[in-house]
Amino acid sequence: MTNPEPEKTLLIVEDDRPLRERLARAMESRGFSVTIAETVAQGIARAKEAPPSYAVVDLKLDDGNGLDVVEVLHTTKPEARVVVLTGFGNIATAVAAVKYGAIDYLPKPADADDILAALQAPPGSKPKPPENPMSADRVRWEHIQRVYELCGHNVSETARRLNMHRRTLQRILAKRSPR
């Protein structure tokens, strides 16, 4: 006997309103019953009220860490399939997301098809390598942003840790992210 497909309830916890609304519409058009939240507190409340079968959770939210929502989801409904989204991906947070119960960890911007594929991937399956990997400039920019974030947005401390002149770092931070 095969396992019945889980109900298609989806919780989206994302503080970026345009992304949240666009993703909610896209997932509804793919047959999901979508509930949205924009903070850790709302995400935890919705996860406890009606634990979803699927969830997409942003790692960094205005009021805290999305991993708190992932942890609650995993305890309220252990079989829930959770994907973590982040604009500042690194190995440590990816490992933490999986330890808290996430099945995948996707960098932003991720489109609805990538998220759907991650949510519905068979357990143990291996993801395909990216068709358009990040450029070296983008990887460098992401690393600088991550260190800047870890230093509490302190430019002098970030420059010291990166062994970079403070003015050079300020020019890099003032520019838009490379593609």
pLDDT per residue as tens digits for the range 169-178: 999 888 877 7
Q: Is 28 among the domain residues?
A: yes
Q: Binning pLDDT at 50, 70 and 90, where does residue 27 land? A: very high
pLDDT at 2 over 80: no
Mean pLDDT of 114-135: 75
Return the top range by mean pLDDT from 51-65, 107-121, 123-137.
51-65
Q: Is 147 among the domain residues?
A: yes
Cα distances (Å, whole numbers) of residue 31 to 8, 53, 104, 116: 7, 13, 21, 11
| Mean pLDDT estimate for the chain | 85
**Global pTM value:** 0.70
* Residue 1, pLDDT score: 42
Which candidate, 92, 7, 96, places its Cα nearest to that of 57? 96
pLDDT at 127 over 70: no
* Residue 19, pLDDT score: 85
* Residue 161, pLDDT score: 93
Q: Are 104 and 83 in contact (CB under 8 A)?
A: yes
Which candidate, 13, 3, 9, places its Cα nearest to that of 97? 13
Pair (152, 109) in one structural domain:
no
Pair (69, 147) in one structural domain:
no
DSSP state of 104: E
* Residue 143, pLDDT score: 82
Q: How many domains is the chain built from?
A: 2
Q: Is 4 among the domain residues?
A: no
Q: Is 159 among the domain residues?
A: yes
CATH code, domain carrying 164: 1.10.10
Q: Binning pLDDT at 50, 70 and 90, where does residue 101 land? A: confident
Q: Are 26 and 50 in contact (CB under 8 A)?
A: no
Q: Are 141 and 164 in contact (CB under 8 A)?
A: no
Mean pLDDT of 89-117: 81
Pair (83, 18) in one structural domain:
yes
Pair (95, 25) in one structural domain:
yes
Q: Which domain holds residue 107?
A: 9-120
Q: Is 129 among the domain residues?
A: no
